[in-house]
Amino acid sequence: MPSARSERRPLPIPFWRRARRIFLLATIACLVPAGISWMGAMSQAHNVGLGVSSVEWLRQNGGGPIVTQIENWYYTLTAPSKGGPALSALPQVGVASSEGGGGKTAKAYRPPKVVPLIHPALPGEGVWKKAAAGAGPRPPVLVTTFRSDPEYPQFVAGVAWIDSARTELAYVPGLAEPPPPLAHRGSGEVPEGKRGRLVATFNGGFPLETSNAGLIYRGKVVEAMVDGVATVVEYRDGRIDIVKWESGASAPANVWFAKQNLPPIINNGKLNPNLSDGPEWGETVNNAVRVWRSGIGIDSRGNLLYAAANYQTVESLAKILQRAGAVRALELDINEDWTSFISYRHPGAVQPSNLLPEMFRPAERYLTPDERDFFALYLRPGQKW
């Protein structure tokens, strides 16, 4: 006779329902350590939104290829169409000559006007203007805008020219980039004591993790240098250069800082013939994808040129820098969240102003701690504003 227990035997759970339960439990088990890691990252100081910080956390924790793929899809789907109505005016950048400070109109070198690509040219297109209101006859920073691509007549590129004889460039580590450990990290912002001489700040390169590149900071190797990679170098005597690095993995004795980022986009005045995609371009969106891009170059006189614009490919960015006079150049950071060039209208970091009005980050960006590393331009000691 069967027992009462065996008569009450429960119905077996279907296999698929059990499998689903196992997957659900495994998912929850996976989310616990991931959540702890994410919350730890989010609890640190940030000056970007939660979404951007979360993407950065994903990128730093093995999700770089996922982020890159999603970015590629997104930017390809939202790519701008060619043509469209022509612009009637360019955004106002810099200060008009009448706003400039007094001083004698001494003969000082000025870079030649950037020849417009689209005709008829708009008022002020390619004409250099002072970035600072009180700058004398020899402004340390000049800025201009021009339409950079005849096929996309609504795109405006912003370019800054930096007088290397009057300024000194400093590499400033961010709070999270370069990643720890790093001696003399600082507070991730322009130091208070140096703001009196501050003329401009601009974004750095890709994070070290994604750029396949090296870094020398204060004469010491933070990340092994890579030969063949484009490098912004400051020598101990204060000279700045942009070179294709060929000095090996260690730090030469005369180098103060060297920041590498991807292969050169312009070398010896010519565009890199391989501006298409390849592993040498790092773990990032495809070179042909149109996003905010920025780059830095050097002209034949040793003055720096910075360029940034939305909807640029690597090739179109290189053409902007070449048109502005760069003979060697490299790409810096990309995407709207990381692209910034800020000039300061008055001494003491007063009245900061973005190079282009549509730049996403606020003009006060580098006066508060920032995650990413950046460059600061100061007037050389003894130079007058």
- Rounded to a whole number of angstroms, the distance between the first and last alpha carbons of the chain is 105
Residue in 47, 53, 57, 284 binding another protein, rule: CB under 8 A: 57
Q: Which tokens hold the place of 300?
A: 């034949």
Q: In this complex, which beta carbon is closest to another protein, that of residue 28 or of residue 108?
A: 28
Which residues lie across from 307 on neighbouring strands?
159, 295
Q: In this complex, which beta carbon is closest to another protein, that of residue 11 or of residue 89?
A: 11
Which amino acid appears at position 286 of this protein?
N
Q: In this complex, which beta carbon is closest to another protein, that of residue 18 or of residue 301?
A: 18
User: Positive or negative CA dihedral for 84, 88, 92, 93?
Assistant: positive
Residue among 342, 345, 348, 349 at smallest CA distance from 375: 342
Instruction: Name residues contacting another protein, limited to 58-77 (CB under 8 A).
Output: 58-63, 65-66
User: Positive or negative CA dihedral for 192, 194, 198, 203?
Assistant: negative
- The answer to whether the CB of 140 falls within 8 A of the CB of 377 is yes
In this chain, which stretch among 14-22, 80-88, 291-299, 341-349 interacts with another protein, using CB under 8 A? 14-22
41 contacts: CB under 8 Å, gap ≥ 6: 53, 57, 60
Instruction: Name residues contacting another protein, limited to 18-47 (CB under 8 A).
Output: 18, 20-31, 33-35, 37-38
In this chain, which stretch among 16-24, 179-187, 331-339, 354-362 interacts with another protein, using CB under 8 A? 16-24
- The minimum distance between CB 335 and another protein, in angstroms, equals 18
Q: Does 123 contact another protein by CB under 8 A?
A: no
Residue among 245, 224, 215, 248 at smallest CA distance from 328: 245
Q: In this complex, which beta carbon is closest to another protein, that of residue 26 or of residue 350?
A: 26
Q: In this complex, which beta carbon is closest to another protein, that of residue 18 or of residue 194?
A: 18
What gap in Å lies between CA 177 and CA 180, rounded to an integer? 8
- The minimum distance between CB 27 and another protein, in angstroms, equals 5
- The minimum distance between CB 371 and another protein, in angstroms, equals 16
Which amino acid appears at position 32 of this protein?
V
Q: In this complex, which beta carbon is closest to another protein, that of residue 12 or of residue 381?
A: 12
Peptide bond into 85 cis (omega under 30): no
Q: In this complex, which beta carbon is closest to another protein, that of residue 65 or of residue 103?
A: 65
- The minimum distance between CB 14 and another protein, in angstroms, equals 12
Q: In this complex, which beta carbon is closest to another protein, that of residue 48 or of residue 58?
A: 58
Give the distance between the most distant pair of CA atoms in the chain: 116
- The minimum distance between CB 42 and another protein, in angstroms, equals 12
Q: Does 312 contact another protein by CB under 8 A?
A: no
Q: In this complex, which beta carbon is closest to another protein, that of residue 38 or of residue 235?
A: 38
Q: Which tokens hold the place of 226?
A: 């890579």
- The answer to whether the CB of 122 falls within 8 A of the CB of 87 is yes
Residue in 1, 2, 9, 107 binding another protein, rule: CB under 8 A: 9
Q: How many chain residues touch another protein (CB under 8 A)?
A: 34
- The minimum distance between CB 28 and another protein, in angstroms, equals 7
Residue among 160, 172, 199, 201 at smallest CA distance from 306: 160
Residue 98 exposed, middle or buried by CB count within 10 Å (0-12, 13-18, 19+): exposed
Q: Which tokens hold the place of 182?
A: 């790093």
Q: Does 10 contact another protein by CB under 8 A?
A: yes
x/- site string to another protein, residues 254 to 283, per CB under 8 A? ------------------------------
Residues that bind another protein (CB under 8 A): 3, 5-6, 8-10, 13, 18, 20-31, 33-35, 37-38, 57-63, 65-66
